[in-house]
Homo-oligomer: A and B are copies of this chain.
């Protein structure tokens, strides 16, 4: 679990502080050895995780019942380890993942919410939840999501299967959730941005299928801000 506000995403990179680096630092402090860890996802700069899974191979003996507490004692306050268990030697946190759910938070009020600064998109205009839920249905199923992938992505196969999608409103807080077998670079943020463009009238209603079929990033809407995005659930069901 981590608040990604202060990090340049998960993945280690030069000249930028990342969550992976902080966890590897913590592990090094405890085990006195630098191990590489493998994350289930490469979250972007500013993106959060309510659930996140990583694996590590090590020759060191680890007491899985104690390491969680030891790690939390040396990790920064915006990262928290929840549990640790021994896995098969071949377990891979990213490749073995069967589906993921992302959540996107929108604070829908004229005034900002000081408790959600950096943790939700502030959208002051009206949002028609019923319209967006109707439009969102077009994403369900298996599609080539090229239109909803950042143009600089090098992934070849852009076919993904969306299993669940929808918005829920709780007072002024709107929660968007999407579950799929995998996600392309910026996919959730472009889907949310496009749906908000439909809400504002910038994109015509009933056009999502057409946008998907165009396989052209330019036909979709803007990329919604990173701060509202949370990796929410990671599944390893066979």
- Contact between chains at A114 and B79 (CB < 8 Å): yes
Chain B residues in 8 Å Cβ range of A119: 115
How distant is A34 from chain B, measured CB to nearest CB, in Å?
A: 24
Docked complex Cα distance between A117 and B1 (Å): 12
A29 in contact (CB, < 8 A): no
- Contact between chains at A110 and B69 (CB < 8 Å): yes
Chain B residues in 8 Å Cβ range of A111: 1, 68, 72, 80-82
How distant is A77 from chain B, measured CB to nearest CB, in Å?
A: 5
- Contact between chains at A114 and B82 (CB < 8 Å): no
Docked complex Cα distance between A27 and B59 (Å): 62
- Contact between chains at B114 and A78 (CB < 8 Å): yes
Main SS at interface, chain A = loop
Docked complex Cα distance between A80 and B111 (Å): 6
- Contact between chains at A112 and B72 (CB < 8 Å): yes
- Contact between chains at A78 and B1 (CB < 8 Å): no
A113 in contact (CB, < 8 A): yes
Chain B residues in 8 Å Cβ range of A68: 110-111
Report A89-130 CB contacts with B as 1/0, cut-off 8 Å: 000000000000000000000111111010100000000000
Chain B residues in 8 Å Cβ range of A72: 111-112
Among A68, A81, A115, max chain B CB count under 10 A is at A115
Report A202-236 CB contacts with B as 1/0, cut-off 8 Å: 00000000000000000000000000000000000
Knowing that A1-B115, A77-B114, A77-B117 are A-B contacts, what are 20 other residue pairs whose CB atoms are under 8 Å apart, sorted by A's residue number? A1-B111, A1-B113, A1-B114, A2-B114, A3-B114, A3-B115, A48-B115, A68-B111, A69-B110, A72-B111, A72-B112, A77-B112, A78-B114, A79-B114, A80-B111, A80-B113, A80-B114, A81-B111, A82-B111, A115-B119
- List 4 tightest A-B contacts by C-beta distance, closest first: A3-B114, A78-B114, A77-B117, A80-B111
